[in-house]
Amino acid sequence: MQSNLAYQTTTEVELDQQINPERKRIGLYGGTFNPIHTSHLIVADQVYTALGLDEVWFIPDEVPPHVDSKTAINADLRVEMVEAAIADNPHFRVELAEVERGGVSYTYDTITFLKEKYPIYDFYFIVGADMVADLPTWHRIDELAKLVMFVGVQRPGFIVDSKYSVLWVDSPLLDISSTDIRNRVKSGLSIRYLVPAAVETIIKEHHLYE
């Protein structure tokens, strides 16, 4: 799909309307992270900074809802790579709700769980433009859209338009994907700088994606 990025950036006015200064504001970044890559980290940091969030929590899924061609490796290894990737950032952490719950990782289930566990937090669910396009197919999407604010980030090749309310944050357009990284490893090509060095080490040590 050719990109046609008529994206909006978040304005201070829009943000002022969202913020309740009494509550901690948490970005939730769900993904398969198979493996986590540099774009994930840049997106998380751009959203963290643009929205002035308190923290960003990375949520590796157990079973991605739309499995299709994804060949997700064991969740333990994906979690290990996420932990290694974010170790140097005190504002980032891993949330294991989906891995611990098991089964298909529907975002609706995760958000209802987290809202119950942390009633005084406001959650912002970060999604790339491919996932924004996919939102109408999500499990209980109309209810989910009332529970959480979606934060959209542009992604090369995806038109960003949604009937759901999405707060768009500007982030550098980087055509990096886990699929491409898996393919590169398989073809013996370099993935240096596409993933953090610690993630590359784990991939090599465990002979992942070969």
Ligand X SMILES: Nc1ncnc2c1ncn2[C@@H]1O[C@H](COP(=O)(O)OP(=O)(O)OP(=O)(O)O)[C@@H](O)[C@H]1O
Ligand Y SMILES: O=C(O)c1ccc[n+]([C@@H]2O[C@H](COP(=O)([O-])O)[C@@H](O)[C@H]2O)c1
Does 107 help bind ligand X (rule: CB under 6 A)? no
Give the integer Cα–Cα distance in Å for 153 and 4. Answer: 14
Phi and psi dihedrals of 95, rounded to 5?
-110, 125
Give the integer Cα–Cα distance in Å for 28 and 62. Answer: 16
Identity of the residue, 58 or 122, whose beta carbon is nearer to ligand X in the bound complex: 58
- Contact partner, 105, from ligand Y, ligand X, none, Cβ < 5-8 Å per class: ligand Y
- Contact partner, 208, from ligand X, ligand Y, none, Cβ < 5-8 Å per class: none
Q: Binding mask 10-39 vs ligand X (x if CB under 6 A, - otherwise)?
A: ---------------------xxxx----x
Residue type, 189: L
Binding ligand X (rule: CB under 6 A), the pick from 40, 162, 166, 199 is: 40
Residue 29's closest CA among 184, 171, 180? Answer: 171
Does 110 help bind ligand X (rule: CB under 6 A)? no
Burial pattern 59-69, b for ≥16 Cβ within 10 A else e, equals bbbbbbeeeee
Query: Under the rule (CB under 6 A), what is the footprint of ligand X?
Result: 31-34, 39-40, 43, 70, 127-128, 130-131, 153, 155, 174, 176-179
